[in-house]
Each structure stands twice: as C-alpha cells, then as structure tokens.
Structure 1
Amino acid sequence: MTAPAVVLVGPMGVGKSTVGELLAQRLGTAYRDTDADVEAAAGKPIAEIFFDEGEPHFRALERGAVRTAVAEHGGVLALGGGAVLDEGTRALLADLPVVYLSMDVEEAVRRVGLGAARPLLAVNPRRQWRELMDARRHLYEEVARAVVATDDRTPEEVAQAVLDALELKDA
C-alpha cells in the first residue's frame, strides 16, 4: 500500500493547495487535493453540492475521496477543511505524516474574504469561522504530527517549515 509523503489539514483558506503544490515540487512528487477529487466525481463545485444535495451528501463524497486518496497517493495530499470531522478519516490518518496548517481568524478573513463561495461561511464569516475552528481545532491537532502556523509567512516559508517539521529533504 502506498502512503502519502505528507498530508495537509487545516481550515479553508489556510493555503493547503498552494503549500501542497510547493511541497510536491520540492519533494519531486505529485500533489492531490481531495476537494478537487470530490468536485471531479460530482461534476460540480463543492458550493453547488452543498446547495443541491446538502452537507451530509458532500461529507459522504469527501469520506470516499479521502479513503481512495490515502490508499492510492504517494505524494502530497491536501484534505478539505472538514474532512477531520469523520472518525474513520481520523483513524486513516493515525500513522501518516500529517501537518496541521493553522492561522488566526483575522488572517482567515483576509485570505478567504467575505464574499467567496464558501458555503459554511455564508453569513457572518468571522463568527462562523471561529465556530468552525472551535469545533475542529482539537481534531486537526489530534491527527497532526506537527502544527505549522501560516500567519505572516509566505507559502514558500510555510512549505519549508513543513519540511523541517517532518524532517524531510528537498528532492
């Protein structure tokens, strides 16, 4: 069984995709994003899945995408912000090199913006982001081998901090 070289978890807008692509380049491996897998399988954006079929349907698609990616992908893997809500997903991550990319609420609002297509932040994004983080932070920390703060860091600096935290070398 192939295991991911690095798994990135954290809230929406933290930079998992950008940092993940940089890490994959530096490690000479492939990058994969389970949100992109879900969108490809459903044939539509996540916001539309939420609107058309609801969050439970999206979470079921997400669980399947994570299971498949963890089993198949040997490179850098980024999980959707809510993937850690699922107990089975957390169990899958138990022995993997998981890094939680963290950021504070002001940075999140700046990055995610107030009008972006984020179904869970449709009303009062600041409060909703705080509530999401209150529900998820301990889960990110539970699955992570390392925590890397992204506040006031460039994506390149975050990628290097991830490599350092996991004691990985560039390809």
Structure 2
Amino acid sequence: MDSVGAGNLVKSNTENSTERNIERNIYLVGPMGAGKSTVGRLLAEALNLTFFDSDHYIEEITGVTIPYIFELEGESGFREREKRAIEALTAKEGIILSTGGGAILAEENRRQLSDNGIVIYLNVSPEVQYERVRFDNQRPLLQQDDPQAVLEALYLIRDPLYREVATYTAFSDNIPPKVVVSGIIESIVQNRSPLPEWLIGSDNR
C-alpha cells in the first residue's frame, strides 16, 4: 500500500484530474468530536465545493438551536427534522456535507448518503471524543452524569452503521485535519482504496 507525506495536498497533474475524479458529493459521517466540520470546510476549500453542516442547516431552517429542538420535541422530533434535512441536502450537487453523529441511525439517511455521494467515515476513539467535547454544552446527548460512558455506548451502537455506509474510513485521533484532507483527496482523485497507511488506524477494516 502506498503512503504519502504529510501536507501533500494532491491535485495530481492538475485541476482537470481532480475535477474528473471528484464527480460526486462528499459526505462526512462519524461521531461528535471527530472533526467532520473542520475537515469538511478544508475539503470544500481545496476542491472549490460548497460546504454544508446538517445541524447548522436545521438551525437555519427552524430558527432555533439543536438543544432547543431536543427540549421541545425530544430526540425523535429532531431525527425527523434531520431526515428532511439529509434528503434536501443530498439532492444538491457539488457539495461537501458534514452530518450529525446520529444521522446514520435512520436507514433512509444511510441510503440517501450512499446512493448520492462518496461517504467518508471519520473515526475517533471515545477517549479523544471526550477530551474534545466535554466542555461543549450544546451537545444534548451529553448532558448526563457520565458523558464519557455515553460516548462509549454510542460508539458501540453507531460504529457498525458508519462502517456500513462508508466508502472510506479515516482514523482521526492524532492526525491534523489538513493531513486527513490530503489523504482523502489523494485517494478519491487516484480512485484508490483503502486510504494511505498513515491515515488508517489499526482497528479499521
């Protein structure tokens, strides 16, 4: 398996090569704290595509925050809104989409994502997740006595679903976002699977 150096943002033999190979939307899935929004914005900038975040999209459409939706409608109400958002966003062309951590729970969402684009699973350990999000009070599911235990439980449930829908899996625990972006672009442009060795964790299949 080939590997490349950090920071080598591939536009291999030109923009035309990139445009020819990036013919589909790119959707980022993974748990909270995986870096989906950061990686998504960098990908959009590098590929000259439009970035969307499904949670932000829902907030813009409703005019209220995600925590407020959870408080008013519960998780089930939010998930219904999320389905409608995923359906609308996957109908667009030329986008990078960062999805919410639980978006893959609905079979309909998984189908929409896999049918309409390239799906990147940003995998991160629950321990690193906790360090990244423990002070974020905008995460409704973490407003519990033991948020780390919640993250571990969610990981066990959701990891198989992320893998089910993923075209590529990138392990992002200790890898800078720009390096993750480089590996993703290189693999898509060169139509290579799996990702470079330095971008996949030992637990990836």
**Both structures adopt the same fold (TM-score exceeding 0.5):** yes
Aligned amino acid, residue 71 of structure 1: A
Q: 1:1-171 maps to which residues of 2 (within 5 A)?
A: 4-95=24-115, 96-123=117-144, 124-167=146-189
Give the % identical residues: 38
Count of aligned pairs between the two proteins: 167
Unpaired runs of 5+ in structure 1? Answer: none
Structure 2 residues not aligned, in runs of 5+: 1-22, 192-205
Q: Segments of 4+ in structure 1 off by > 3 A?
A: none
Max Rg structure: 2
C-alpha separation between the residues in 2 aligned to 1:92 and 1:16?
A: 18
Alignment partners' CA distance in 1, 2:121 and 2:140: 22
Q: Deviations 1:104-153 (Å, cap 9, x if unpaired)?
A: 11110111124532111111111000111111100000000010011111
- TM superposition score normalised by structure 1: 0.92
Give, in whole Å, the separation in 2 of the partners of 1:29 and 1:6: 10
State the superposition RMSD in angstroms: 1.6
CA offsets per residue over residues 69-125 of structure 1, 9 Å max, x none?
000242211111111000111111223210000111111011112453211111111
1:43-78, Cα deviation, whole Å (9 max, x unpaired): 111111101111111000000000000002422111
Cα pair 1:114 1:125 within 8 Å, conserved: no
Q: TM-score with structure 2 length normalisation?
A: 0.77
Query: 2: CA distance between counterparts of 1:159 and 1:47?
Result: 30
